[in-house]
Amino acid sequence: ETGVTQTPRHLVMGMTNKKSLKCEQHLGHNAMYWYKQSAKKPLELMFVYNFKEQTENNSVPSRFSPECPNSSHLFLHLHTLQPEDSALYLCASSQVEGGQGPRKSYNEQFFGPGTRLTVL
Amino acid sequence: KQEVTQIPAALSVPEGENLVLNCSFTDSAIYNLQWFRQDPGKGLTSLLLIQSSQREQTSGRLNASLDKSSGRSTLYIAASQPGDSATYLCAVAGYSSASKIIFGSGTRLSIRP
């Protein structure tokens, strides 16, 4: 496997279900991201993990719960979703410079193929 | 707050033409600018990355330019082919926070055979 992989590629779930999206990067990067892409809207950053620590949460509802067990794997746990959460969920990775300091530099991002989520 | 705009939202040209896609941004304090291609229902494929200190980058038939002072970047596609049909997105990255990675809404390009 190369690059960034995501599973599953398609997911249909009811509002009471619990499911998880998985992302894995094989690029040796130290940062991973979750994005949401809805129809006719720009990509929305949801979460960022840098060195396995969550560094950003863009006011995402608690029904989305991320998990980053190591720098190569990222999960998005889903529960009690709403129909408006239906979207393409994209994972990305990049190398971040600047360590844990305030002036980080975010380098080229590489994206996975996405998970098309439909909430009924 | 950084805003990224891509105009036009959609573009259709005949095969073989050279074309330019535009990306404008409001805050010139950027670290880099990245152009992506996205096929329908798929992820984003990185095309070119321009660092803030650079003026242009080239890859095959693609050339991306950056003018920070005017807040503009262009993606030039030479000798367009039907396989170039896709949505092209630009993203600018600021410093210090991944929330400063801002994407445009994209230009949907269609190349007519």
Q: What is the pLDDT of residues B49-106, one digit of tens each?
A: 999 999 999 999 999 999 999 999 999 999 999 999 999 999 998 876 666 789 999 9
Q: How far apart are CA B100 and CA A49, in angstroms?
A: 15
Of A45, A108, A113, the CB nearest to B49: A108
* Chain B residue numbers touching A40 (CB-CB < 8 A): 105
Question: Is the CB of residue A105 less than 8 Å from the CB of residue A54?
Answer: no
Interface test mutation site (partner B, options A25, A40, A41, A43, max chain B beta carbons within 10 A): A43
Nearest residue of chain B to residue A91 (CA atoms): B43
SS3 A119: strand
In chain A, the percentage of residues whose pLDDT exceeds 90 is 66
- A33 vs B98: CB contact, 8 Å cut-off? yes
For residue B81, the number of C-alpha atoms closer than 13 Å in the C-beta half-sphere is 3
Of B43, B49, B102, the CB nearest to A111: B43
Residues of chain A whose beta carbon is less than 8 angstroms from a beta carbon of chain B are 4, 6, 31, 33, 40-43, 45, 48, 50, 55-56, 58, 88, 90, 92, 98, 102-114, 116
Predicted confidence (pLDDT) at residue A39 exceeds the cutoff of 90: no
Q: How far apart are CA A36 and CA A91, in angstroms?
A: 9
Higher-scoring residue by pLDDT: A69, A40: A69
- B31 vs A90: CB contact, 8 Å cut-off? no
Predicted confidence (pLDDT) at residue A98 exceeds the cutoff of 80: no
Residue A11 CB contacts under 8 Å (≥ 6 apart), including other chains:
A19, A21, A115, A116, A117, A118
Kindly state the average pLDDT of the residues B24-48. 93
Kindly state the average pLDDT of the residues A25-51. 90
Question: Is the CB of residue A43 less than 8 Å from the CB of residue A37?
Answer: yes
Q: What is the pLDDT confidence band of residue A1, given thresholds at 50, 70 and 90?
A: low
Structure tokens at B112: 């007519």
| Beta-strand relationship, B10-14 and B107-112 | parallel
Question: Could you tell me if residue A17 is left (phi over 0), alpha (psi between -120 and 50 degrees) or otherwise beta?
Answer: beta
Structure tokens at A110: 């590489």
